[in-house]
Structure 1
Amino acid sequence: MAKINQAACIGGGVIGAAWAARFILGGIDTNMFDPHPEAQRLVSEVMANAERAYEMLTRAPLPNKGTLSFSNSIEEAVRGADWIQESVPERLDFKHGVLAQIDAAAHPKALIGSSTSGLMPSDLQRGMKNPERMFVAHPFNPVYLLPLVELVGGEKTTRAVLEDAKDKLATIGMTGLIINKEIEGFVGDRLQEAFWREALWLIKDDICDTETLDNVIRYSFGLRWAQMGLFETYRIAGGEAGMRDFLSKYGPILAWPWTKLTDVVDLDDNLVEKIVGQSDAQSGQRGIRELERIRDQNLVGILQALKAGDEGRGWGAGELVADFEAHLWKTAPKPQLNPTSEPIRLLEVKVHPAWIDYNGHMTEYRYTQCFADACDVLLQLIGADIDYVKAGHSYYTVESHVRLLAEAKLGDALYVKAQLLPSDGKKIHTFMWLYRASDDTLLSTYEQLTLHVSSKESRSVPPLPEVMRKLKPLIEAHADLPAPDAAGRSIGQRK
């Protein structure tokens, strides 16, 4: 599979720093060049938010983090890179100078993507010696969470380059959509610009304030668009007759003089002050990093919800998260099981904000989630992984018992240990402990019985030999361990 071996980011602003975070969390060593005196601090703050978001996004094993190195020149940054992402300010003359330096110093086969949000790739290519490998790779903020990249080639860009870029992006959880023709603003920004223009008129004419406008979006069609986009949403609005009926009913409305999309609002000082004042009041004077963290947490929640849709296959952007996780599981080093006569350590995790309830503690079902994730690790260790499930075999939990003994709070590092109680492979009887890592406080225990099932036969059957071969030494290693005190407890039994 195509992959990015080394990346370079030229420009470390909001977009460039987020590109670097996406590369690094994808396991790719990345060189950064930005002459801004505060570049390292700004990039490190974006990286911290990105790592926090990824802790919430997936339990799939991320690759070892890539190394971020700051370079003293463009030439130094692009040396050895096979993907170079330019994210400097939106001035054509300035970009020409930067791209010329990149072109002269980069390997002739290195891909060069520009994060421009509107400049034409043919204009950007002008003067390059190797223009066929340069294209627009327009992302959406935050780049480390939102998966879309608009891939737009110029007159001299080869289709093979765009296809190669698309394949490489998939390995870091992004989807490259190839736009058929170059056009100012591409697709995403054209749609946003039209929406933005009408929004400015609504504020200028005092139809509503900025908070009301944002609430209209996030409480209505914004939720629909997050999963189905525009046309599929409208197709449903057409009922059983579909899109044809929708167009016949609502198409004539387009001729009504509702909007001012062809009329440009004058962003004079009064309108600027009105928007700034309303926006500041709306945000409650929260700082930019706090707003980014709130945004990331909400996006992760939406992505996780969409990932669970359509019978676990995912829907919308959630499908891309599911695909990314499948890629991570497939490419991660296979965990090795080394049985000893001690309980096995299975999981390490941090309590993140989405796990906190109204009391400020980790909510009840998250304790069970920790044990469920630990069970998944155990199944990975014995070879009952995703491929095993796809082949028609799995372990199903048929009985469990959880005790909640102490509170876990935001940011606590936790770990799970497990002991196999008498098991035969067809059934796995497990006892687990959840601890806080800082002081080894026991937070919870969990007893679980799982049965091996053939999904094709819809009944319990012995596991396949390759799974039993890995499981048997662990069963034997734990056979002489004393049963945990809480094993076999019933609800309400005294401690």
Structure 2
Amino acid sequence: MSRIQKAACIGGGVIGGAWIARFALAGIDVKVFDPHPDAKRIIGEVLANAERAYGMLTTAPLPKKGDVTFCDSLEDAVRDADWIQESVPERLELKRGVLTQIDAAAQPAALIGSSTSGLMPTELQRDMRHPERLFVAHPYNPVYLLPLVELVGGEKTARSVLDDAKAKLVPIGMKGVIIKKEIEAFVGDRLLESVWREALWLIKDDICDTETLDDVIRYSFGMRWAQMGLFETYRIAGGEAGMRHFLAQFGPCLAWPWSKLTDVVDLDDALVEKISAQSDAQSGARGIRELERIRDQNLVGIMHALKAGDDGRGWGTGKILADFEKYLWQSAEKTETTVSATEPLRLLETRVNAAWVDYNGHMTEHRYLQLFGDTADALLRLVGVDMAYVEAGHSYYTVETHIRHLGEAKLGQGLYTTLQLLSSDRKRLHFFTRIHDQASGDLIATAEQLMLHVDSKAGKSVDAPADVQAKTAVIAEAHANLPMPDGAGRSVGQRKAQ
């Protein structure tokens, strides 16, 4: 798979900083040039929010975080990079000059993407010696979570460059969409601008305030769009006859004078103050960084929900997340786990993040089950039951679980898990898992579980292959002389021996 080896980011504001986070968390070293005096602080805060979001996003093994190096010159930053992302302010002459500098200093094969929201790539590449490698790579904020990148070429951009860029975005969890023709504001911002223009008129004409308008979006079509977009949503609205019926029924409405889309609202001082005051009343009690964290946590939750498609494919960003996690598991370094006759397997380390806690600030119940499940998955990978094995039609299914909650896991607390294999045979794995505090080793929870090997396509239990049985037997033999765990074999509510 085509991958980015080294990245450079020119400009580290809201978008540039988030690009840096996306690259670094994908394991890519990033060199940065931004002359702003607070660049390191701003980028550091964005990176911290991104790391927090990734902690909620996935338990798949992320690569070692790439190094972020701040350079004293643009030339130093771009010299060795194979993907260069320009994110300087949205002024044509400024961007054109910066891109021309990048072009002169970059290695010949480097891809050069611009984060512009609407400037035409043909205009941007005008003065470049190698204009064929320049393209618009327009992301959406926050770049480290939202996967879409609009890829737009200019008159001199090579199609192979766009194809290469699209392929290189996949391993960092992003989806590149190639726009067929360059057009001002591309596709996404054209749609957003039309909605925003109408929204400004609704506020100016006192039809509603900013909070009501946001409520209309987030409690209705915003939820539909997150999974199906516009046209697939309207296809359903057409009933059994689909899109043809929808267009026949609602198409004539387009001629009605509902919209002011062709009229430009005058953003005079009075309207600016009106919108700003309403926005302050709506959200001003929270700082921007707090709002960003709330936004990220909610986005992660939406992506998790969309990942669980009933056909196994997922929907929207959920499918991108599922594909990204599959890639992470497949490309993860194979770590050696020591099988010892004196202690259980130590398989998982993690930290309690904000999405895992309840109203008491403690880890919520289903997250304990998730950790036990992730630990069981680590055991399965150890004996050869990996993603390829599952895709081939076989797996182990959990048929019994008994969890004991002995302590409290709290926000930010480091945890590790251990697993003791109590027994195994041709079809079954019987094991005991413990969750410990990372610092003290104190026991927080235990789970005794039984798994059954199955043919998932046939829907019945079958013998595991000989090589899997052999690997589990090695662990079972090593653990045979370990003391039986306190709590193993207990029933729910059973009193402790006096």
Q: TM-score range with shorter-chain normalisation?
A: over 0.9
Which residue of structure 2 lines up, in the alignment, with residue 245 of structure 1?
Answer: 245
Take 1:159 and 1:308, find their aligned partners in 2: how far apart are those partners?
Answer: 35
Counterpart residue identity of residue 385, structure 2: A
Which residue of structure 2 lines up, in the alignment, with residue 55 of structure 1?
Answer: 55
Deviations 1:233-269 (A, max 9, x none): 0010000010111111101111111110000000000
Deviations 1:139-193 (A, max 9, x none): 0000000000000000000110000000000110001100000000000000000
Which residue of structure 2 lines up, in the alignment, with residue 427 of structure 1?
Answer: 428
Confirm or deny: 8 A CA contact 2:111 2:165 kept in the other structure. yes
Shift of 1:475: 1.1
Take 1:485 and 1:471, find their aligned partners in 2: how far apart are those partners?
Answer: 23
Shift of 1:280: 1.0
Take 1:400 and 1:328, find their aligned partners in 2: how far apart are those partners?
Answer: 28
Take 2:112 and 2:73, find their aligned partners in 1: how far apart are those partners?
Answer: 17
Counterpart residue identity of residue 374, structure 1: T
1:295-306 pair list within 5 angstroms? 295-306=295-306
Counterpart residue identity of residue 138, structure 1: H
Confirm or deny: 8 A CA contact 2:424 2:472 kept in the other structure. no
- After superposition, the Cα gap between the structure-2 partners of 1:463 and 1:152, relative to the gap in structure 1 and judged at 3 Å, is same
Partner SS state of residue 194, structure 2:
helix
My pick for the range that moved more, 401-410 or 32-41, is 401-410
Take 2:284 and 2:402, find their aligned partners in 1: how far apart are those partners?
Answer: 44
Q: Is residue 2:461 matched to residue 1:480?
A: no
Unaligned runs of 5+ in 1: none
Q: Is residue 2:99 matched to residue 1:126?
A: no
Deviations 1:27-64 (A, max 9, x none): 10000000000000000000000000001111111111
Partner SS state of residue 320, structure 1:
helix
Take 2:456 and 2:367, find their aligned partners in 1: how far apart are those partners?
Answer: 28
Shift of 1:463: 1.6
1:214-253 pair list within 5 angstroms? 214-253=214-253
Which residue of structure 2 lines up, in the alignment, with residue 187 of structure 1?
Answer: 187
My pick for the range that moved more, 448-457 or 247-256, is 448-457
Confirm or deny: 8 A CA contact 2:434 2:445 kept in the other structure. yes
4+ aligned runs moved over 3 Å, structure 1:
none
Shift of 1:336: 2.6
Which residue of structure 2 lines up, in the alignment, with residue 318 of structure 1?
Answer: 318
Counterpart residue identity of residue 76, structure 2: E
Which residue of structure 2 lines up, in the alignment, with residue 204 of structure 1?
Answer: 204
Counterpart residue identity of residue 161, structure 2: V
Q: Is residue 2:285 matched to residue 1:278?
A: no
Partner SS state of residue 143, structure 2:
coil
My pick for the range that moved more, 433-442 or 397-406, is 433-442
Which residue of structure 2 lines up, in the alignment, with residue 31 of structure 1?
Answer: 31
Q: Is residue 2:416 matched to residue 1:398?
A: no
Shift of 1:328: 0.8
Q: Is residue 2:102 matched to residue 1:102?
A: yes
Deviations 1:104-148 (A, max 9, x none): 100111000000000000000001000000000000000000000
Partner SS state of residue 450, structure 1:
strand
Partner SS state of residue 107, structure 1:
coil
Confirm or deny: 8 A CA contact 1:425 1:471 kept in the other structure. no
Take 1:176 and 1:365, find their aligned partners in 2: how far apart are those partners?
Answer: 34
Take 2:468 and 2:34, find their aligned partners in 1: how far apart are those partners?
Answer: 51
Confirm or deny: 8 A CA contact 2:137 2:149 kept in the other structure. yes
Take 1:425 and 1:290, find their aligned partners in 2: how far apart are those partners?
Answer: 52
- After superposition, the Cα gap between the structure-2 partners of 1:85 and 1:152, relative to the gap in structure 1 and judged at 3 Å, is same
Counterpart residue identity of residue 393, structure 2: G
Partner SS state of residue 422, structure 1:
strand
After TM superposition, the score normalised by the length of structure 1 is 0.98
Unaligned runs of 5+ in 2: none
Counterpart residue identity of residue 333, structure 1: E
Counterpart residue identity of residue 51, structure 2: E
Residue identity (%): 69
Take 1:45 and 1:486, find their aligned partners in 2: how far apart are those partners?
Answer: 44
After TM superposition, the score normalised by the length of structure 2 is 0.98
Take 1:286 and 1:96, find their aligned partners in 2: how far apart are those partners?
Answer: 37
Shift of 1:214: 0.5
Which residue of structure 2 lines up, in the alignment, with residue 356 of structure 1?
Answer: 357
User: Number of aligned pairs?
Assistant: 495
Deviations 1:286-339 (A, max 9, x none): 111111100000000000000012333211111111111111111111233321
Confirm or deny: 8 A CA contact 1:337 1:470 kept in the other structure. no
Which residue of structure 1 lines up, in the alignment, with residue 344 of structure 2?
Answer: 343
Which residue of structure 2 lines up, in the alignment, with residue 445 of structure 1?
Answer: 446
Take 1:335 and 1:456, find their aligned partners in 2: how far apart are those partners?
Answer: 30
